[in-house]
Amino acid sequence: MATSATRAETPAGTWRITFYVALAVFAQESTWNFYDNRVPELLRDHVASAAVVGVLMGMDNLLGVFIQPYMGNRSDNTRTAWGRRIPYLAVMMPLGAVLFLLIPHATSLAWLVLVIFLYALVMNSFKPISESLMPDFIAPERRSTANAAVKTAAALTIIVASLVSLLLVDDHPKLAFAVPSGLMLAAAAVLVWRVRDSRSAAYRAAVAEDEADRADGKPAAAAGGTRDAEVKIKMRDVIGEMVRDPDRSRVLVVVAVFVFGGAWFASRSLLTPYGVEVLGLSDGEAGGLTLPSGVAYILAAFPAARLAERFGRLRVMAAGAAVFAAAMLLGAAVQTPAVTVATMCLAAAGAAGFVINAVVVLWNLAPSPRVLGTYSGLYTVGWMSGGMAGPALVGLAVDVTGWHLMLLHIAVLTVVAALLVLRIDRLRRRADTAASAR
């Protein structure tokens, strides 16, 4: 895989920047999880239609598909004394925190929709930027372990959102929004105080490439905060180069993420009605089927990263997808609540192997450190698009065959993802062999 940095961080430096990135992700995901918990109920105060509530709650995913690659690319082309990521985070994280704080104070549907639209716009704008800090600083061989820490921090926000809901929402519904908002403000302050990504290996490599291009007479992003007449690397050029590459590995990674994302989101969003229709549970009981799987995901995160760094990320991704598919087949074969809980725990452990390593594979395949933010955005396009398409596709299959086969349909989708990853692995081995021969 292509190396995206010119200088490896020391182990202490690796864990330092991992902590800061995890802090940023923890803060922003705390607001997102609390948003998912509370905003549907705020919308229901104004509209009775579940369909309308669903459309409004899905708005952030749709925005993310378009905004995140653009903002990742925009940060890639930024050059300042603070670096290319921190200037955006210094402005957007506090702005997102303020908008989140305003959500419960919206007194009409129009104002509520406007505030949540602006919140989703700002949060989607800096998400790929904060996540790209990690590959900027950390060498390719250490990225899986670092990403496991970041994903664990994101998973822990589910617990934070639940605790805030439990302790504050009933008695202080508006004050409850201040806790996640305060976490994000604190994280922004720490990042601005402690991190300068202008010192990262990837930023320095990008500046060096800029200087080489200027020496060749090509337009480039200037190192001092201004830019030449043309943008250095346009997003359409990055995508065009990826699509035209005869290797196809990077395109297939995005497609595999799309397919596995579809399976993952289908297994989460459709499990409650499955529990009611097939297992005979109440809505509340069915909604609790996935709770233990969150713990299983956290426990599997670091082993999945360590295995990937020892045996190869693509192999662990394929194995993770295979475990996920096997879990779905187990649940389809034995349809009881206890086995379904075990199914979801096993599936979550398999998902950790895929999810933690997929974005790292894409980062490490990037042809230049100048496009790491764009690649973070393209990963999000695959993941969020799968999140929108997967439940719809599996739901359509359920309409045709019935709820009792839902887990089987998800297993089929996951097998497709595993086969795509195996195809990528063969392509990479072929490319490595050809490079060795030369």
pTM of the predicted model as reported, rounded to 2 decimal places:
0.81
Ordered alpha helix ranges (H), 334-371: 337-365
CB 186 within 8 A of CB 19: no
Residue 68, token pair as written in the block? 């995140």
pLDDT tens-digit readout, 86-120: 899 999 999 999 999 998 888 888 898 899 899 98
Yes or no: say if 127 and 381 are a contact pair by the CB < 8 Å rule.
no
212 vs 221: CA distance, rounded Å: 12
What whole-number percentage of the chain has pLDDT above 70?
A: 85
Centroid of chain to Cα 327: 23
Question: pLDDT tens digit string along 33-83?
Answer: 777 767 777 787 787 665 567 667 667 778 888 888 889 888 888 888 888
Is the model's pLDDT at 410 over the cut of 90? yes
Given a contact cutoff of 8 angstroms between Cβ atoms, the answer to whether 223 and 132 are in contact is no
Q: One-letter amino acid identity for 301?
A: A
Domains parsed from the chain with CATH numbers? 11-198 (1.20.1250.20), 239-437 (1.20.1250.20)
Rounded to the nearest 10 degrees, the angle between the axes of helix 11-44 and helix 50-57 is 160
